[in-house]
């Protein structure tokens, strides 16, 4: 009889032919012929690999943590080569090759357990499925295909991410390492704004796009916090908040007002029970960027909440100092019947000083500066119009930096996104919105589905109508189509603000699963798994969908506040909103970076109330009327602090 201590299997066989089958091709095989079974068993016991538990301890460690001595010890004691060690180190990491590595581990573990009498492992379902059912070769072939696909997809996603980084503009950057140096870079008008805020004044900081408002806010944030007081930074949209840095949040999230649809009493009660939201309201100063999108109703709601939560009911905003930032010549509030924030008395009661930045830093070309100033005020000259017209129909082929496409209508954006998606190789995965009747709390996305409704027959007609309206109004896509390498945008604000994921974060798809999508976000620099999110309605049923959408093209609304390296804009007859054409043009730094898809001179329009308001600012600068001390810096002399 023959004793096999190390081979494809271990144990005792009766003939040489049986032994030969188990040792042929097995490097380091140990075997010997014996006359008695007792001697054969002793030989196997003396030469077997040490107990399984020692080897498993090595499996559970990452390869990167092994030093040379440990590897040599493994190679000597267990008679396995370095390649196998590397493979074993990746078992628990769930890499695409993990199944293949698991197979090799099974062989080694089985080798140990048989010799030492540990037979329980052979009864496991995994062992039976892989070894006894003969699926080893089939699974290994599948793994090889997946490995090749993974290598190909990694290359594609890396290229796609590089393209995104070249097209995405002005990604959020941390505050300057030496704030004093940044402070020294501020112009006289910017320094005046800083001095006013440090003096405790509530101000309105305005001016054309490109005058350095975002840069000024970063410096202001650092300088204010040096005083020992706390400043909160917010914006009206997630996109705008992202551009202000990792410490910025959306106003609705920071204030705890949700969508702002509930009554003030309901919101105040909810904030009172939420320690984090209450703590937010303890700030000494609040920055609100993109204030042109704020309605008077929201401003008045914040005033009521501030008075109640801060327990200073006789003071405006509960005594909270505000820095309103924005340009009302840009996009107005989204609501159809909404008015501007400056059209309510509370605005005039709060804002006692307007700092008007006039020096444009983003665009250095005086020709382009002139075009933007005319476009902002809705008075585009024929000369400027012809200059813009000359940027239409230019060839994009051969450009190193691909322009970001800006369009006015969602329908155009969707068509472009689907066309770009079709160009990608690989399998397309479709994520359809589902209806949820209940939800439970989830640390990542806030809620997770508990009960899914799979049939519309289970939904009352009235509820179905409301869900259809939710599908129309909400930001999610009812049928989301994705491929690996697709450019996407995150469409909600993540609960964990430290992640830097807000509504507007851009990224590239790196993996697709039925329960979510792996994305490499520009603001994070690494892969992040995006789970499904739940959108609420007014009924006890909700919608669940992946909070992503394709982002090869953007609406002009989504681009407000960004600085793009290059853009192609549609400012033709489809331009329907006040300030829309101006916002589109002012996203780029130079005329050379601007490409025009379509243009209509009538697209450059300004809301009459905005024109009137800025005229009032100029009149206030000359007449020094006590009602509204809002003065452009160039014309202002020292005025008393309000």
Tell me the pLDDT tens digit for each residue of 102-123.
444 444 444 444 443 334 444 4
| 225-256 core/surface letters (b: 16 or more CB in 10 A; e: else) | beeeeebbbbbbbbbbbbbbbbbbbbbbbbbb
Contact indicator for 183, 309 with CB cutoff of 8 Å = no
Give CA–CA dist 575/594, Å, rounded. 17
Look at 3-7, 526-530, 558-562 and tell me which has the smallest mean pLDDT.
558-562
Give CA–CA dist 70/88, Å, rounded. 14
Cβ atoms within 10 A of the Cβ of 54, count?
12
Query: Which residues contact residue 353 at a Cβ distance below 8 angstroms, ignoring those fewer than 6 apart?
Result: 196, 201, 202, 203, 204, 629, 630, 631, 639, 642
Six-digit token pair at 242?
């992202």
Six-digit token pair at 131?
């070894």
> What is the secondary structure of 31-91 as a DSSP string?
EEE-SSHHHHHHHHHHHSPSPHHHHHHHHTS-GGG--HHHHHHHHHHH---HHHHHHHTTG
Find the radius of gyration of the CA atoms of the chain: 33
Look at 256-265, 282-291, 298-307, 630-639 and tell me which has the smallest mean pLDDT.
630-639
Six-digit token pair at 245?
């840095």
In terms of average pLDDT, the best of 20-34, 113-127, 449-463 is: 20-34
Average pLDDT across the chain, whole number: 74
Could you give the count of Cα atoms lying within 13 Å of 252 in the half-sphere of its Cβ?
20
Which pLDDT does position 211 carry in this prediction? 80
Strands 527-531 and 516-521: antiparallel
pLDDT tier at 541, thresholds 50, 70, 90:
low
Cβ atoms within 10 A of the Cβ of 263, count?
10
**Pairs from 512-518 (Cβ < 8 Å, separation ≥ 24):** 512/429, 512/482, 512/483, 512/484, 516/546, 517/431, 517/482, 517/488, 517/546, 517/548
Q: Is the pLDDT of residue 236 over 90?
A: no
Look at 68-77, 141-150, 460-469, 544-553 and tell me which has the smallest mean pLDDT.
68-77
Rounded percentage of the chain residues whose pLDDT exceeds 70: 63
Query: What is the distance in angstroms between the CA of the first residue and the CA of the last residue of the chain?
Result: 103
Six-digit token pair at 371?
């075009």
CA angle 283, 289, 290 (to 5 degrees): 150
Give CA separation, 29 vs 7, 73, 112, 338, in Å.
Answer: 5, 19, 14, 82
pLDDT tier at 554, thresholds 50, 70, 90:
confident
**Which residues are paired to 596 by β-bridges?**
392, 569
Six-digit token pair at 113?
């357990």
Alpha helices in 577-624 (DSSP H): 580-585, 608-623
In which region does residue 579 sit, left (phi positive, over 0), alpha (psi from -120 to 50) or beta (all else)?
left
Six-digit token pair at 194?
């800083």
Q: Is the pLDDT of residue 241 over 50?
A: yes
Contact indicator for 263, 582 with CB cutoff of 8 Å = no
Which pLDDT does position 159 carry in this prediction? 62
Contact indicator for 169, 523 with CB cutoff of 8 Å = no
Tell me the pLDDT tens digit for each residue of 394-434.
887 666 556 878 998 888 888 889 998 999 998 999 999 88
Look at 80-84, 139-143, 284-288, 516-520 and tell me which has the smallest mean pLDDT.
80-84
Give CA–CA dist 454/468, Å, rounded. 15
Question: Domains of the chain, with CATH numbers?
Answer: 2-146 (no CATH), 187-361+609-632 (3.40.50.300), 366-403+566-606 (no CATH), 414-555 (no CATH)
Tell me the pLDDT tens digit for each residue of 180-220.
467 888 888 889 899 999 999 999 999 887 787 888 898 89
The continuous run of DSSP H or E covering 568 comes out as: strand 567-571
Give CA–CA dist 59/44, Å, rounded. 24
Six-digit token pair at 33?
């012929």
Look at 79-88, 276-285, 466-475, 541-550 and tell me which has the smallest mean pLDDT.
79-88
Tell me the pLDDT tens digit for each residue of 335-367.
555 689 999 999 999 998 999 888 877 667 889
């Amino acid at each position: 009889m023959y004793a096999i201590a190390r081979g494809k299997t271990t144990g005792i066989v009766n003939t040489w032919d049986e032994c030969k089958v188990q040792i042929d091709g097995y490097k380091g095989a140990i075997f010997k012929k014996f006359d008695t079974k007792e001697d054969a068993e002793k030989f196997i016991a003396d030469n077997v690999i040490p107990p399984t538990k020692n080897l498993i301890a090595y499996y559970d460690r990452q390869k990167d943590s092994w030093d040379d001595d440990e590897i040599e010890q493994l190679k000597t004691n267990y008679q396995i080569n370095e390649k196998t060690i590397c493979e074993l180190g990746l078992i628990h990491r769930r890499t695409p090759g993990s199944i293949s590595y698991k197979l090799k581990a099974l062989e080694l573990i089985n080798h140990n357990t048989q010799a030492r009498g540990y037979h329980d492992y052979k009864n496991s379902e995994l062992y039976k499925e892989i070894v006894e059912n003969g699926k080893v070769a089939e699974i290994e072939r599948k793994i090889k295909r997946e490995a090749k696909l993974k290598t190909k997809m990694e290359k594609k996603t890396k290229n796609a991410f590089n393209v995104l980084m070249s097209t995405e503009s002005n990604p959020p950057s941390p505050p300057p390492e030496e704030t004093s140096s940044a402070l020294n870079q501020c112009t006289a008008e910017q320094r005046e704004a800083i001095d006013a805020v440090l003096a405790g004044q509530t101000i309105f900081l305005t001016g054309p796009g490109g005058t350095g408002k975002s840069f000024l806010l970063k410096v202001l944030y650092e300088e204010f916090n040096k005083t020992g007081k706390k400043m909160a930074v917010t914006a009206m949209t997630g996109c705008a908040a992202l551009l202000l840095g990792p410490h910025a949040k959306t106003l609705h999230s920071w204030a705890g007002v949700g969508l702002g649809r509930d009554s003030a009493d309901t919101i105040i009660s909810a904030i009172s029970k939420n320690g984090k939201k209450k703590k937010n309201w303890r700030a000494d100063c609040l920055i609100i960027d993109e204030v042109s999108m704020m309605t008077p109703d929201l401003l008045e709601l914040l005033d009521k909440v501030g008075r109640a939560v801060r327990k200073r009911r006789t003071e405006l905003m509960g005594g909270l100092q505000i820095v309103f930032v924005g340009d009302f010549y840009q996009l107005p509030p989204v609501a159809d019947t909404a008015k501007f924030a400056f059209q309510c008395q509370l605005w005039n009661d709060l804002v006692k000083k307007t700092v008007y930045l006039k020096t444009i830093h983003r665009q250095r070309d005086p020709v382009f500066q002139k075009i933007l100033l005319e476009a902002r005020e809705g008075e585009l000259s024929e000369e400027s119009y012809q200059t813009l017209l000359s940027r239409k129909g230019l060839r994009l082929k051969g450009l190193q930096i691909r322009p970001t496409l800006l369009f006015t209508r969602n329908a155009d954006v969707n068509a472009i996104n689907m066309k770009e998606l079709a160009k990608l190789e690989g399998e397309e995965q479709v994520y359809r919105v589902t209806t949820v009747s209940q939800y439970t709390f989830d640390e990542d996305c806030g809620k997770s589905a508990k009960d899914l409704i799979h049939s519309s027959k289970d939904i009352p007609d009235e509820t179905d109508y409301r869900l259809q309206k939710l599908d129309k109004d909400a930001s999610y896509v009812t049928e989301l189509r994705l491929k690996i390498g697709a450019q996407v945008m995150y469409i909600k604000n993540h609960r964990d603000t430290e992640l830097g994921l807000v509504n507007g974060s851009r990224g590239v798809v790196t993996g697709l699963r039925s329960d979510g999508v792996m994305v490499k976000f520009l603001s994070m620099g690494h892969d992040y798994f995006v789970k499904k999110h739940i959108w609420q309605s007014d009924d006890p049923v909700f919608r669940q969908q992946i909070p992503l959408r394709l982002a090869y093209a953007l609406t002009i609304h989504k681009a407000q506040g960004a600085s793009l390296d290059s853009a192609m804009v549609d400012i033709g007859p489809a331009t329907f909103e006040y300030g829309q054409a101006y916002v589109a043009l002012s996203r780029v730094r130079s005329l050379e970076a601007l490409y025009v898809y379509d243009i209509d001179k009538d697209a450059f329009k300004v809301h009459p109330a905005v024109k009137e308001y800025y005229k009032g600012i100029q009149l206030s600068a000359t007449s020094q009327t006590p009602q509204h001390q809002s003065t452009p810096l160039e014309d202002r002399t020292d005025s008393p602090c309000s």
